[in-house]
Structure 1
Amino acid sequence: MRELRNLDLNLLKAFDVLMDEKSVSKAAQRLSVTQPAMSGILQRLRDSFNDPLFVRVQRGIVPTNRALELRQPIKQLLQSAEQLLQPKIFDPQTAELTLTIACTDYALRAVISPFLAVLKQRAPKIKVAILAINEQNLQSQLEQGVVDFGLVTPDFSAPDIHSKDLYQEQYVCALRKDHPVAQQGSISLEQFCRLEQALVSYQGGSFSGATDKALAKLGLTRNVTVSVQNFIVMPEFLANSDLLAVVPKRLVENLANIHYFEPPLQIDGFTKTLVWHERTHRDPAYRWLRELMAEVC
């Protein structure tokens, strides 16, 4: 039994040309080889298929019955091989795939929500799965295909990971729209420290964060009485209390019942970064999705 590994697939192209031209010399011209080289190729074809394949006649060559049987299967095989070499064409309107994104609840509101609104218009058949991010596991999740995109801060890095900064975020003071302080427009640092406040502690249970580090440099502290583990509930807490919170601007900037303003001290913001693995880096679908997310942000 003959095995595929013993067949030079380049011979199939030569066979196809010989079938078209019915001439060894014309086939040699099309393949840019000498006539003796073409004769050698024909002999290798005969050896591979254990058949003469082409018989000399007065004007050129004619195919044997075996060659006629092989013509269509070989042509289809060559066409399939050609298609494999062509770049994948991505059409957002018809594309069907599932995109998995790992992110925080803040990024869910600030990035994913506006991203989905545009995505559903431009690529209606793409599904999106959102996972809670765990940066300790993110590298392996990206490698294994469990996650396609991660939304992180720039200090995340790992081998074979690509990244793109989406935007620079700033912190603002936020409280309910009808809070007495909302009418002032701004507050003093002394008043800021005195007001009852809430903060987000992702690890849970902490009453100190980036704002407190900035205050500590000034020898000051603030009155934090509520600590929660996620940002999503914070606007609701603020809307139903006299609490103030220092939060990322994109979390509250479009909420009708929340008033926000600049803090009375300098608090370092952060950059939101999109990361992905080398395995999807050149895929046209995932490249389009990355570009769309950057556009939305």
Structure 2
Amino acid sequence: MKDFDFEKLDGQLLKTFLLILEENSVSMAAERLDVNQSTVSHSLNKLRRILGDPLFVRSGQGLTPTETALALKAPVLEVLDKLQSLTDLRPFDPKSEKMHFVAAANDMQRDLIFPHLLRQAWADNIALTMELRPSGVPSVGLLRDARCDLILTPLPPDAPDLMQLKLFTGEMHVFYDPACRDAPKSLDDYVQSDHVSVHFALGGSSDEVIVSRDLQAPPKPKVTVSNFAGLPAFIRGTELLTTQLKLMGKALLQSLASAPIPFEIEPVSVYMVWHQRSTNDPAHRWLREQITEISRKTMV
């Protein structure tokens, strides 16, 4: 390992290595890179020759990284970060570049922002593609390990190498079917009602944003669903309630009635979060600017 020829390494090889390490699969890495499997296999074999280590060994249906591969993760990320920092020196025109981003957001934030962003980009003849993943209650590792380019969330992970920008702040409302019940008139009425909550498949709950001096803890839900889009089907035709951002009445929950919560509750902010390595990248900066502008218009 001491005598390997580092001049044969390049950014694409290192990116391929990280994706194989993340996915434990050559085929999944190829899908992420939008290349065929043989291209990734060729890159892996080249890395093995350069580094003098197998890096990955087959185990069951996937690949298991060697100790060398695991030890290389942090320095490879550091090298790619430094390479990416060079991009602020290059000219940038969104219409002359092919851009691809991976964003993590639950369906509420996803549907408020990204359909508008993509429609506008395509109307402007910008070659933009996006991979949208659920975030649950996001972890630092989502960004630190380069599994996504940015996160939209009301529960931003906190770390010194992560940057965040508040996109908007909104009131929380209670949503219900007006054909089956009235809005709760008091704290007791709210607490004694049956509720629907979102418990994300990746962990965490939408109830974590409900902070109130009057409410010791959110009521235990009678029904939980894995995403916000599942809420209307369970509320319509029942006396169930759900507590969500008032803004959702413009999108996912537009078929329901809403009313202010009958007690004092903290407003909820949604943040855009990214790793500091992306701050000066002009394409990433362009993406952040588009999201910020769409968020501003959405709140009008």
CA distance in 2, matches of 1:126, 1:200: 31
Distance 1:240 1:111, change over 3 A: farther
How far does the alpha carbon of each residue in 1:110-152 deviate from its partner, in whole angstroms, 9 at most, with x for none? 333443343333454100101222666543x434433111123
Distance 2:187 2:91 in 1: 57
1:201 corresponds to 2:202 = no
Q: Which moved more, 1:113-122 or 1:264-273?
A: 113-122
Which TM-score applies when normalising by structure 1? 0.58
CA positional deviation for 1:240: 4.1
* Structure 1 match to 2:42: none
Structure 2 distance, partners of 1:223, 1:137, is: 25
**2:106 equivalent among 98, 104, 107:** 104
Tell me by how many angstroms 1:89 deviates.
2.8
* Partner-residue secondary structure (3-state), 2:284: helix
User: How do 1:124-273 and structure 2 match up within 5 A?
Assistant: 124-133=126-135, 137-139=139-141, 141-153=142-154, 156-181=157-182, 187-202=185-200, 211=210, 214-217=213-216, 224-254=221-251, 255-273=253-271
Paired amino acid for 1:226: V
The residue type equivalent to 2:279 in the other structure is H
The TM-score with structure 2 as length reference comes to: 0.57
Name the counterpart of 1:287.
Answer: 285
Supply the distance in 1 between the matched residues of 2:92 and 2:158 (Cα, whole angstroms). Answer: 29
Task: Give ranges in structure 2 of 5+ residues lacking alignment.
Answer: 1-85, 296-300
1-structure distance, mates of 2:211, 2:262: 13
Q: CA RMSD in A?
A: 3.5
Q: Distance in 2 between the 1:225 and 1:142 partners?
A: 34
1:28 matched residue in structure 2 = none
Q: What's the CA shift string for 1:9-46, capped at 9, x where partnerless? A: xxxxxxxxxxxxxxxxxxxxxxxxxxxxxxxxxxxxxx
Matched-pair identity in %: 22
Point out the more displaced range, 274-283 or 208-217: 208-217
| Letter of the structure 2 residue corresponding to residue 287 of structure 1 | R
> For the Cα contact (< 8 Å) 2:196–2:223, is it kept in 1?
yes
Distance 1:202 1:228 in 2: 8
Opposite residue 93 of structure 1, the aligned amino acid is K
Judge conservation of contact 2:195–2:222 (CA < 8 Å) in 1.
Answer: yes
| Aligned match of 1:296 | 294
Q: Which amino acid aligns with 2:189?
A: Q
Gaps of 5+ in 1: 1-83
Conserved? CA contact 2:198–2:224, under 8 Å: yes
